[in-house]
Chain A
Amino acid sequence: MPQPESPTEPIRSEFAHDPDMADLINMFVEEMPSRIQSIADCYRDQRLTELQTIAHQLKGSGAGYGFEPVSLTAAQLEASLKTHSDLESIRDEVDALIDICRRLAP
Protein backbone atom coordinates (compact mmCIF):
# COMPACT_ATOMS: atom_id res chain seq x y z
CA MET A 1 0.00 0.00 0.00
CA PRO A 2 1.44 3.39 -0.92
CA GLN A 3 2.11 5.43 2.18
CA PRO A 4 1.96 9.16 1.50
CA GLU A 5 5.11 10.91 2.69
CA SER A 6 3.51 14.31 3.06
CA PRO A 7 -0.14 15.27 3.52
CA THR A 8 -0.39 16.74 0.04
CA GLU A 9 1.17 13.92 -1.92
CA PRO A 10 -1.23 12.12 -4.27
CA ILE A 11 -2.45 8.73 -3.19
CA ARG A 12 -2.30 6.10 -5.89
CA SER A 13 -4.27 2.91 -6.05
CA GLU A 14 -2.61 -0.28 -4.95
CA PHE A 15 -4.02 -1.78 -8.13
CA ALA A 16 -2.77 1.00 -10.42
CA HIS A 17 -0.79 -1.53 -12.45
CA ASP A 18 -3.62 -4.00 -12.82
CA PRO A 19 -4.98 -3.57 -16.38
CA ASP A 20 -8.37 -5.02 -15.34
CA MET A 21 -8.76 -2.29 -12.79
CA ALA A 22 -7.57 0.76 -14.74
CA ASP A 23 -11.00 1.86 -16.00
CA LEU A 24 -12.65 1.21 -12.67
CA ILE A 25 -10.06 3.18 -10.73
CA ASN A 26 -10.38 6.06 -13.19
CA MET A 27 -14.12 6.09 -12.72
CA PHE A 28 -13.75 5.97 -8.94
CA VAL A 29 -11.31 8.90 -8.98
CA GLU A 30 -13.36 10.91 -11.47
CA GLU A 31 -16.39 10.65 -9.26
CA MET A 32 -14.45 11.89 -6.22
CA PRO A 33 -15.06 15.66 -6.64
CA SER A 34 -18.82 15.17 -6.54
CA ARG A 35 -18.41 12.82 -3.56
CA ILE A 36 -16.36 15.45 -1.75
CA GLN A 37 -19.01 18.04 -2.56
CA SER A 38 -21.70 15.77 -1.08
CA ILE A 39 -19.68 15.24 2.09
CA ALA A 40 -19.20 19.00 2.49
CA ASP A 41 -22.87 19.73 1.73
CA CYS A 42 -24.14 17.11 4.19
CA TYR A 43 -21.86 18.45 6.89
CA ARG A 44 -22.90 22.05 6.22
CA ASP A 45 -26.63 21.20 6.16
CA GLN A 46 -26.32 18.82 9.14
CA ARG A 47 -27.68 15.87 7.14
CA LEU A 48 -25.76 13.47 9.32
CA THR A 49 -27.61 10.28 8.39
CA GLU A 50 -26.78 10.90 4.76
CA LEU A 51 -23.21 11.68 5.70
CA GLN A 52 -23.01 8.38 7.56
CA THR A 53 -24.24 6.53 4.46
CA ILE A 54 -21.55 8.14 2.32
CA ALA A 55 -18.88 7.28 4.90
CA HIS A 56 -20.17 3.74 5.09
CA GLN A 57 -20.04 3.28 1.33
CA LEU A 58 -16.55 4.73 1.05
CA LYS A 59 -15.39 2.42 3.83
CA GLY A 60 -16.73 -0.55 1.89
CA SER A 61 -15.45 0.43 -1.53
CA GLY A 62 -12.19 2.36 -0.95
CA ALA A 63 -9.90 -0.58 -0.25
CA GLY A 64 -11.54 -2.61 -3.00
CA TYR A 65 -10.30 0.03 -5.45
CA GLY A 66 -6.85 -0.05 -3.89
CA PHE A 67 -7.32 3.02 -1.70
CA GLU A 68 -7.04 1.65 1.80
CA PRO A 69 -6.62 5.11 3.44
CA VAL A 70 -10.12 5.96 2.17
CA SER A 71 -11.60 2.92 3.92
CA LEU A 72 -9.72 3.66 7.16
CA THR A 73 -10.64 7.35 7.32
CA ALA A 74 -14.23 6.71 6.29
CA ALA A 75 -14.52 4.02 8.98
CA GLN A 76 -13.37 6.55 11.60
CA LEU A 77 -15.97 9.07 10.45
CA GLU A 78 -18.68 6.44 10.42
CA ALA A 79 -17.78 5.33 13.95
CA SER A 80 -17.86 8.95 15.22
CA LEU A 81 -21.22 9.57 13.58
CA LYS A 82 -22.65 6.55 15.36
CA THR A 83 -21.75 7.99 18.77
CA HIS A 84 -21.83 11.76 18.20
CA SER A 85 -24.44 13.96 16.67
CA ASP A 86 -22.85 17.37 17.10
CA LEU A 87 -21.00 18.87 14.19
CA GLU A 88 -17.99 19.98 16.19
CA SER A 89 -16.95 16.53 17.37
CA ILE A 90 -16.91 15.03 13.89
CA ARG A 91 -15.24 17.95 12.18
CA ASP A 92 -11.72 16.48 12.26
CA GLU A 93 -12.87 13.21 10.75
CA VAL A 94 -14.79 15.00 7.99
CA ASP A 95 -11.75 17.13 7.17
CA ALA A 96 -9.50 14.08 7.19
CA LEU A 97 -11.76 12.18 4.81
CA ILE A 98 -12.11 15.12 2.42
CA ASP A 99 -8.32 15.56 2.46
CA ILE A 100 -7.72 11.89 1.61
CA CYS A 101 -10.37 11.91 -1.13
CA ARG A 102 -8.85 15.02 -2.72
CA ARG A 103 -5.48 13.35 -3.00
CA LEU A 104 -6.65 10.26 -4.86
CA ALA A 105 -4.94 9.82 -8.20
CA PRO A 106 -5.54 7.07 -10.76
Chain B
Amino acid sequence: MDRNDEQPSVLLIDDSVEILRLLQVRLRSEDVNLITATTGMEGIRIAAERKPALILLDLDMPVMDGFETLRALKEDSRTVNIPVIVISGSDDTVDKVAGFEFGAIDYVCKPFNLPELRARMRSALRIQQLMSMLEHRAQIDGLTGLWNRAYFDRRLEEEIASHMRTGRPFTLVLCDLDNFKSLNDTHGHPAGDAVLQGFAKQLTATLRKQDIACRYGGEEFALILRETHAEQAHALIERIRETLESTRWPRHPERAITASFGVCDEPNGDSSVPACWLETADKALYEAKKRGRNRIVVAGDPLPGNEVPLSKAG
Protein backbone atom coordinates (compact mmCIF):
# COMPACT_ATOMS: atom_id res chain seq x y z
CA MET B 1 0.00 0.00 0.00
CA ASP B 2 3.02 2.26 0.37
CA ARG B 3 2.97 3.03 -3.31
CA ASN B 4 4.34 6.48 -2.95
CA ASP B 5 6.76 7.26 -0.17
CA GLU B 6 6.64 11.00 -0.76
CA GLN B 7 2.94 11.12 -0.06
CA PRO B 8 2.15 11.35 3.64
CA SER B 9 -0.07 8.53 4.88
CA VAL B 10 -3.32 9.39 6.61
CA LEU B 11 -5.00 6.71 8.72
CA LEU B 12 -8.80 6.79 8.98
CA ILE B 13 -10.26 4.94 11.95
CA ASP B 14 -14.05 4.66 11.74
CA ASP B 15 -16.40 1.74 12.35
CA SER B 16 -18.70 2.95 9.59
CA VAL B 17 -17.71 1.54 6.21
CA GLU B 18 -19.87 4.20 4.60
CA ILE B 19 -17.81 6.99 6.14
CA LEU B 20 -14.56 5.29 5.13
CA ARG B 21 -15.74 4.91 1.54
CA LEU B 22 -16.96 8.47 1.46
CA LEU B 23 -13.70 9.88 2.77
CA GLN B 24 -11.66 7.76 0.38
CA VAL B 25 -13.48 9.38 -2.52
CA ARG B 26 -13.69 12.85 -1.00
CA LEU B 27 -10.00 12.99 -0.09
CA ARG B 28 -8.83 11.56 -3.41
CA SER B 29 -7.79 15.02 -4.58
CA GLU B 30 -5.50 15.46 -1.58
CA ASP B 31 -1.87 14.49 -1.95
CA VAL B 32 -2.11 11.74 0.66
CA ASN B 33 -2.07 7.98 0.87
CA LEU B 34 -5.17 6.83 2.76
CA ILE B 35 -5.14 3.80 5.03
CA THR B 36 -8.27 2.61 6.82
CA ALA B 37 -9.17 0.72 9.98
CA THR B 38 -12.65 -0.18 11.23
CA THR B 39 -11.89 -0.70 14.92
CA GLY B 40 -9.79 1.08 17.53
CA MET B 41 -7.61 -2.01 18.05
CA GLU B 42 -6.90 -2.36 14.34
CA GLY B 43 -6.19 1.37 14.11
CA ILE B 44 -3.67 1.26 16.96
CA ARG B 45 -1.87 -1.71 15.39
CA ILE B 46 -1.70 -0.07 11.95
CA ALA B 47 -0.60 3.27 13.42
CA ALA B 48 2.33 1.61 15.23
CA GLU B 49 3.37 -0.33 12.10
CA ARG B 50 2.88 2.29 9.44
CA LYS B 51 3.55 5.52 11.37
CA PRO B 52 1.07 7.65 9.41
CA ALA B 53 1.56 11.44 9.30
CA LEU B 54 -1.99 11.99 10.53
CA ILE B 55 -4.87 10.02 12.05
CA LEU B 56 -8.55 10.85 11.60
CA LEU B 57 -10.34 9.15 14.46
CA ASP B 58 -14.07 8.59 14.93
CA LEU B 59 -15.15 9.03 18.54
CA ASP B 60 -18.21 6.81 18.59
CA MET B 61 -17.17 3.26 17.91
CA PRO B 62 -18.42 0.06 19.54
CA VAL B 63 -16.14 -2.00 21.85
CA MET B 64 -13.19 0.40 21.99
CA ASP B 65 -14.40 3.97 21.54
CA GLY B 66 -12.45 6.90 20.17
CA PHE B 67 -11.39 8.22 23.58
CA GLU B 68 -9.93 4.85 24.58
CA THR B 69 -8.24 4.55 21.21
CA LEU B 70 -6.83 8.07 21.53
CA ARG B 71 -5.51 7.36 25.02
CA ALA B 72 -3.83 4.16 23.84
CA LEU B 73 -2.25 5.99 20.88
CA LYS B 74 -0.89 8.68 23.21
CA GLU B 75 0.48 6.14 25.70
CA ASP B 76 2.48 4.25 23.07
CA SER B 77 5.89 5.77 22.32
CA ARG B 78 5.59 4.64 18.68
CA THR B 79 2.40 6.64 18.10
CA VAL B 80 2.48 9.42 20.68
CA ASN B 81 3.72 12.05 18.21
CA ILE B 82 1.25 11.28 15.43
CA PRO B 83 -1.33 14.08 15.31
CA VAL B 84 -4.94 12.95 15.71
CA ILE B 85 -8.00 14.81 14.43
CA VAL B 86 -11.09 13.58 16.24
CA ILE B 87 -14.24 13.27 14.16
CA SER B 88 -17.36 13.12 16.27
CA GLY B 89 -21.12 13.02 15.94
CA SER B 90 -21.34 15.09 19.09
CA ASP B 91 -20.77 18.84 19.21
CA ASP B 92 -20.99 18.78 23.00
CA THR B 93 -18.36 21.02 24.61
CA VAL B 94 -17.56 18.36 27.22
CA ASP B 95 -16.60 15.92 24.44
CA LYS B 96 -14.57 18.56 22.61
CA VAL B 97 -12.61 19.49 25.72
CA ALA B 98 -12.04 15.81 26.55
CA GLY B 99 -10.77 15.19 23.00
CA PHE B 100 -8.18 17.96 23.31
CA GLU B 101 -7.21 16.85 26.80
CA PHE B 102 -6.60 13.31 25.58
CA GLY B 103 -4.16 14.79 23.08
CA ALA B 104 -6.15 15.41 19.88
CA ILE B 105 -4.91 18.38 17.85
CA ASP B 106 -8.29 19.12 16.33
CA TYR B 107 -11.97 18.25 16.61
CA VAL B 108 -14.38 18.04 13.70
CA CYS B 109 -18.13 17.44 14.02
CA LYS B 110 -20.05 14.94 11.93
CA PRO B 111 -21.73 15.23 9.50
CA PHE B 112 -18.66 17.09 8.40
CA ASN B 113 -18.24 19.87 5.95
CA LEU B 114 -15.71 18.59 3.41
CA PRO B 115 -13.84 21.78 2.48
CA GLU B 116 -13.41 22.43 6.21
CA LEU B 117 -12.18 18.90 6.89
CA ARG B 118 -9.70 19.13 4.02
CA ALA B 119 -8.42 22.48 5.28
CA ARG B 120 -7.98 21.16 8.81
CA MET B 121 -6.22 18.08 7.47
CA ARG B 122 -3.78 20.17 5.44
CA SER B 123 -3.09 22.39 8.41
CA ALA B 124 -2.37 19.37 10.63
CA LEU B 125 -0.08 17.88 7.96
CA ARG B 126 1.84 21.17 7.64
CA ILE B 127 2.47 21.24 11.39
CA GLN B 128 3.45 17.58 11.37
CA GLN B 129 5.96 18.21 8.57
CA LEU B 130 7.58 21.05 10.52
CA MET B 131 7.68 18.94 13.67
CA SER B 132 9.41 16.05 11.96
CA MET B 133 11.88 18.44 10.33
CA LEU B 134 12.72 19.90 13.74
CA GLU B 135 12.96 16.44 15.24
CA HIS B 136 15.36 15.41 12.47
CA ARG B 137 17.47 18.57 12.85
CA ALA B 138 17.73 18.05 16.59
CA GLN B 139 19.48 14.75 15.90
CA ILE B 140 22.05 16.07 13.44
CA ASP B 141 25.49 17.47 14.20
CA GLY B 142 25.62 20.95 12.70
CA LEU B 143 29.24 20.94 11.55
CA THR B 144 29.54 17.49 9.98
CA GLY B 145 25.95 16.57 9.12
CA LEU B 146 26.42 13.22 10.88
CA TRP B 147 24.07 12.03 13.62
CA ASN B 148 24.75 13.64 16.99
CA ARG B 149 25.52 12.14 20.38
CA ALA B 150 21.91 12.16 21.61
CA TYR B 151 20.77 10.20 18.57
CA PHE B 152 23.70 7.83 18.89
CA ASP B 153 22.97 7.05 22.55
CA ARG B 154 19.39 6.16 21.68
CA ARG B 155 20.37 4.03 18.68
CA LEU B 156 23.05 2.19 20.63
CA GLU B 157 20.46 1.25 23.23
CA GLU B 158 18.08 0.03 20.51
CA GLU B 159 20.83 -1.92 18.77
CA ILE B 160 21.86 -3.60 22.01
CA ALA B 161 18.23 -4.47 22.80
CA SER B 162 17.82 -6.07 19.37
CA HIS B 163 21.17 -7.86 19.76
CA MET B 164 20.05 -9.30 23.10
CA ARG B 165 16.66 -10.30 21.69
CA THR B 166 17.72 -11.83 18.39
CA GLY B 167 21.43 -12.56 18.77
CA ARG B 168 22.16 -10.57 15.63
CA PRO B 169 25.72 -9.22 15.82
CA PHE B 170 26.79 -5.63 15.56
CA THR B 171 30.09 -3.83 16.04
CA LEU B 172 30.69 -0.61 17.92
CA VAL B 173 33.63 1.53 16.80
CA LEU B 174 35.02 4.55 18.62
CA CYS B 175 37.36 6.66 16.57
CA ASP B 176 39.51 9.64 17.43
CA LEU B 177 41.50 11.88 15.08
CA ASP B 178 45.19 11.81 16.04
CA ASN B 179 46.89 14.96 17.37
CA PHE B 180 43.87 17.05 16.52
CA LYS B 181 44.62 19.72 19.11
CA SER B 182 48.02 20.36 17.57
CA LEU B 183 46.39 20.71 14.13
CA ASN B 184 44.03 23.37 15.50
CA ASP B 185 46.91 25.12 17.29
CA THR B 186 49.17 25.16 14.23
CA HIS B 187 46.72 25.77 11.38
CA GLY B 188 43.72 27.32 13.15
CA HIS B 189 40.19 26.15 13.82
CA PRO B 190 38.94 26.54 10.23
CA ALA B 191 41.53 23.93 9.22
CA GLY B 192 40.33 21.65 12.03
CA ASP B 193 36.71 22.09 10.97
CA ALA B 194 37.60 21.26 7.37
CA VAL B 195 39.21 18.00 8.53
CA LEU B 196 36.18 17.09 10.64
CA GLN B 197 33.90 17.73 7.67
CA GLY B 198 36.15 15.93 5.23
CA PHE B 199 36.44 12.88 7.47
CA ALA B 200 32.66 12.84 7.99
CA LYS B 201 32.23 12.73 4.19
CA GLN B 202 34.69 9.85 3.92
CA LEU B 203 32.80 7.96 6.62
CA THR B 204 29.48 8.45 4.87
CA ALA B 205 30.96 7.40 1.52
CA THR B 206 32.59 4.22 2.84
CA LEU B 207 29.98 2.97 5.28
CA ARG B 208 27.03 0.89 4.15
CA LYS B 209 23.39 1.87 4.21
CA GLN B 210 22.67 0.03 7.45
CA ASP B 211 25.55 1.61 9.38
CA ILE B 212 25.20 4.61 11.66
CA ALA B 213 27.93 7.25 11.90
CA CYS B 214 27.88 9.91 14.63
CA ARG B 215 30.03 12.74 15.81
CA TYR B 216 30.48 11.66 19.40
CA GLY B 217 32.32 14.73 20.68
CA GLY B 218 35.03 17.19 19.54
CA GLU B 219 37.22 15.04 17.27
CA GLU B 220 35.68 11.75 18.33
CA PHE B 221 33.35 9.68 16.18
CA ALA B 222 31.24 6.63 16.96
CA LEU B 223 30.04 4.05 14.46
CA ILE B 224 27.44 1.34 14.80
CA LEU B 225 28.07 -1.30 12.14
CA ARG B 226 24.94 -3.41 12.04
CA GLU B 227 24.84 -7.13 11.22
CA THR B 228 28.63 -7.13 11.37
CA HIS B 229 31.30 -9.00 13.36
CA ALA B 230 34.60 -7.40 14.32
CA GLU B 231 36.52 -9.18 11.49
CA GLN B 232 34.28 -7.71 8.78
CA ALA B 233 34.25 -4.40 10.61
CA HIS B 234 38.03 -4.40 10.59
CA ALA B 235 38.18 -4.57 6.79
CA LEU B 236 35.69 -1.73 6.46
CA ILE B 237 37.49 0.47 8.97
CA GLU B 238 40.83 -0.28 7.39
CA ARG B 239 39.51 1.32 4.19
CA ILE B 240 38.43 4.36 6.18
CA ARG B 241 41.81 4.56 7.90
CA GLU B 242 43.70 4.33 4.60
CA THR B 243 41.51 6.88 2.85
CA LEU B 244 42.03 9.39 5.63
CA GLU B 245 45.76 8.81 5.83
CA SER B 246 46.22 9.31 2.09
CA THR B 247 44.08 12.45 1.87
CA ARG B 248 45.93 15.66 0.97
CA TRP B 249 44.43 18.66 2.72
CA PRO B 250 44.48 21.98 0.81
CA ARG B 251 45.14 24.01 3.96
CA HIS B 252 48.10 21.88 5.06
CA PRO B 253 49.27 19.65 2.21
CA GLU B 254 52.43 18.77 4.12
CA ARG B 255 50.51 17.41 7.07
CA ALA B 256 48.64 14.12 6.85
CA ILE B 257 45.77 13.40 9.21
CA THR B 258 45.30 9.99 10.80
CA ALA B 259 42.86 8.43 13.20
CA SER B 260 42.84 5.65 15.79
CA PHE B 261 40.04 3.13 16.13
CA GLY B 262 38.75 0.98 18.99
CA VAL B 263 36.49 -1.88 17.90
CA CYS B 264 34.13 -3.98 20.00
CA ASP B 265 31.63 -6.68 19.03
CA GLU B 266 31.44 -8.32 22.45
CA PRO B 267 31.93 -6.16 25.52
CA ASN B 268 33.63 -7.02 28.76
CA GLY B 269 30.96 -7.31 31.41
CA ASP B 270 27.22 -7.19 30.85
CA SER B 271 26.48 -7.07 27.11
CA SER B 272 23.01 -5.62 27.76
CA VAL B 273 24.53 -2.44 29.19
CA PRO B 274 25.53 0.36 26.75
CA ALA B 275 28.23 1.63 29.14
CA CYS B 276 30.02 -1.76 28.96
CA TRP B 277 30.14 -1.57 25.15
CA LEU B 278 31.41 2.00 25.24
CA GLU B 279 34.03 1.24 27.89
CA THR B 280 35.31 -1.79 25.99
CA ALA B 281 35.56 0.15 22.72
CA ASP B 282 37.15 3.06 24.53
CA LYS B 283 39.82 0.83 26.07
CA ALA B 284 40.62 -0.56 22.62
CA LEU B 285 40.85 2.99 21.29
CA TYR B 286 43.19 3.91 24.13
CA GLU B 287 45.28 0.87 23.29
CA ALA B 288 45.47 2.01 19.64
CA LYS B 289 46.70 5.40 20.77
CA LYS B 290 49.21 3.82 23.11
CA ARG B 291 50.59 1.58 20.39
CA GLY B 292 51.41 4.61 18.27
CA ARG B 293 48.09 5.87 16.78
CA ASN B 294 46.87 5.51 13.16
CA ARG B 295 45.71 1.98 13.78
CA ILE B 296 42.79 -0.28 14.63
CA VAL B 297 42.59 -2.29 17.82
CA VAL B 298 39.88 -4.89 18.24
CA ALA B 299 38.88 -5.46 21.87
CA GLY B 300 39.78 -8.96 23.01
CA ASP B 301 42.54 -9.50 20.42
CA PRO B 302 45.48 -10.52 22.62
CA LEU B 303 48.35 -9.38 20.41
CA PRO B 304 48.73 -6.42 18.10
CA GLY B 305 48.32 -8.82 15.16
CA ASN B 306 45.52 -6.85 13.53
CA GLU B 307 47.56 -3.76 13.21
CA VAL B 308 48.75 -1.95 10.19
CA PRO B 309 52.42 -1.03 9.98
CA LEU B 310 52.76 2.43 11.28
CA SER B 311 53.89 5.05 8.91
CA LYS B 312 53.61 8.53 10.24
CA ALA B 313 51.79 8.27 13.51
CA GLY B 314 52.86 10.99 15.80
A contact residues vs B (CB 8 Å cutoff): 20-21, 24, 27-28, 53, 56-57, 59-65, 68, 71
Known contacts A56-B89, A63-B111, A20 near B25 by CB under 8 Å: yes
Chain A nearest CB, measured from B274 CB (Å): 50
Question: Do A64 and B19 touch across chains, with their CB atoms under 8 A apart?
Answer: yes
The answer to whether A64 and B89 have CB atoms under 8 Å apart is no
Q: Are B111 and A21 in contact (CB under 8 A)?
A: no
In the complex where A62-B111, A63-B111, A64-B112 touch, is A57 in contact with B25 (Cβ < 8 A)?
no
Contacting residues, chain A, for B135 (C-beta < 8 A): none
Residue of A nearest to B18 (CB): A61
Say whether, besides A20-B25, A21-B25, A57 and B110 are in contact (CB < 8 Å). no
Whether B111 lies near A71 (C-beta < 8 A) is yes
> In the complex, how many residues of chain B place their beta carbon closer than 8 angstroms to a beta carbon of chain A?
17
Query: Chain A nearest CB: distance from B293 CB in Å?
Result: 69
Nearest-CB distance from B96 to chain A (Å)?
A: 16
- Asked if B123 lies at the interface with its beta carbon under 8 angstroms from chain A, I say no
Secondary structure of the A contact surface, majority rule: helix
A101 to chain B, nearest CB (A): 13
**A60 touching B110, Cβ below 8 Å:** yes
Q: Give per-residue flags for B84-118: 1 if the beta carbon is below 8 A from chain A beta carbons, else 0.
A: 00000100000000000000000000111010000
Given contacts A60-B89, A64-B112, 12 further A-B contacts (CB under 8 A): A24-B21, A27-B21, A28-B18, A57-B19, A59-B89, A60-B16, A60-B110, A61-B16, A61-B22, A64-B18, A64-B114, A65-B22
Flag if A65 contacts B28 (CB, 8 Å): no
Contact B111 A59 (CB under 8 A): yes
Closest to A50 in B: B62
Note all chain B residues with C-beta closer than 8 A to A71. 111
Query: Can you report 21 A-B residue pairs in the complex whose CB atoms are below 8 A from each other?
Result: A20-B26, A21-B25, A24-B21, A27-B21, A53-B62, A56-B60, A57-B19, A59-B110, A60-B16, A60-B19, A60-B58, A60-B60, A61-B16, A61-B19, A61-B111, A64-B18, A64-B26, A64-B114, A65-B18, A68-B111, A71-B111
| B16 contacts across to A, CB distance below 8 A | 57, 60-61
Interface residues of B (CB under 8 A from A): 15-16, 18-19, 21-22, 25-26, 28, 58, 60, 62, 89, 110-112, 114
CA of A31 to CA of B21, assembled, Å: 14
Bound state CA distance, A21 and B28, in angstroms? 11
Least CB distance from B250 to A in Å reads 61
Known contacts A20-B25, A20-B28, A21-B25, A57 near B111 by CB under 8 Å: no
Q: Which residue of B lies closest to A23 (CB)?
A: B25
A60:B25 contact, CB within 8 angstroms:
no
Q: How far is the CB of A6 from chain B (nearest CB, A)?
A: 25
How distant is the Cα of A60 from the Cα of B19 in the complex, in angstroms? 8
